[in-house]
């Protein structure tokens, strides 16, 4: 497990590095966003722990730049816990969001959860439902052979639906499992993202069935 720790506070980097190495991983450090982007261009990492408030290049901008060329899972670290910041982090491709001050044990638990999810996606490879093809490993979606561009969060929702095909899913469960247990959103967050996902799936939006008063189900 190669972990890139990006934070301008040396003490935080040292604590997280200690926990990563204690679990047998390799820890690499960057003190600002530009350094993190440069390191990701030159090497591969299994996961990134990215602070939001960084000198030279902020964490959000660094993640957007990294995601252009590398599909590396990212956990954002921030002293700001506003819903807007979390939503923005998820929209640009973050996989989880931890508010400071945090427990290093909790951060490591989230690291393992995110890596497990990525491993499960890769293992499932490619699935097809009529003209809808979902490449799990490549994180690509095709509608009748044409690639469609989804936001990272839309992709996560679609993958979660596929993994739970035929199961009734409440909005609360979707918030818990896709956004994370500390995300304080509401039903509108789920509905808004699913509306955008359905639009991108075109005629195959029919697979996402609304369960009135409950939530949704992926049915084929």
* Residue 31, token pair as written in the block: 């003190």
Task: Provide the 3-class DSSP secondary structure of residue 138.
Answer: coil
Q: Which domain holds residue 34?
A: 2-121
Residues comprising the chain, all counted: 220
Last residue of a domain, one of 71, 86, 121: 121
User: What is the distance between the alpha carbons of residues 204 and 220, in angstroms, rounded to a whole number?
Assistant: 10
The reported pTM is 0.58
The verdict on 159 and 81 lying in the same domain is no
Q: In which residue are the tokens 């500390």 written?
A: 182
Last residue of a domain, one of 72, 105, 121: 121
pLDDT tens per residue, range 27-61: 999 999 999 999 998 888 999 999 999 999 999 99
69-to-37, 41, 133, 155, 166 alpha-carbon distances in Å: 10, 8, 22, 17, 34
Number of structural domains (the chain) is: 2
Q: What is the pLDDT of residue 164?
A: 86
The verdict on 91 and 149 lying in the same domain is no
């Amino acid at each position: 497990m190669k972990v890139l720790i990006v934070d301008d506070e040396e003490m935080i980097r040292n604590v997280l590095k200690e926990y990563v190495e204690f679990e047998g991983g390799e820890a690499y450090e960057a003190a600002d966003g530009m350094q993190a982007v440069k390191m990701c261009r030159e090497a591969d990492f299994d996961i990134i722990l990215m602070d939001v408030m960084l000198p030279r290049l902020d964490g959000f901008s660094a993640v957007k730049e990294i995601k252009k060329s590398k599909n590396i899972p990212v956990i954002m670290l921030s002293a700001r816990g506003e819903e807007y910041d979390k939503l923005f982090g998820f929209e640009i491709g973050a996989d989880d969001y931890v508010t400071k001050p945090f427990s290093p044990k909790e951060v490591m638990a989230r690291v393992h959860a995110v890596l497990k999810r990525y491993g499960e996606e890769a293992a499932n490879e490619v699935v097809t439902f009529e003209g809808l093809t979902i490449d799990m490993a490549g994180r690509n979606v095709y509608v009748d052979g044409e690639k469609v561009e989804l936001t990272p969060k839309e992709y996560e929702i679609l993958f979660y639906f596929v993994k739970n095909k035929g199961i009734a899913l409440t909005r609360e469960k979707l918030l818990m499992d896709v956004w994370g247990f500390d995300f304080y959103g509401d039903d509108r967050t789920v509905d808004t993202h699913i509306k955008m996902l359905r639009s991108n799936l075109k005629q195959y939006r029919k697979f996402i069935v609304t369960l009135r008063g409950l939530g949704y189900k992926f049915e084929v």
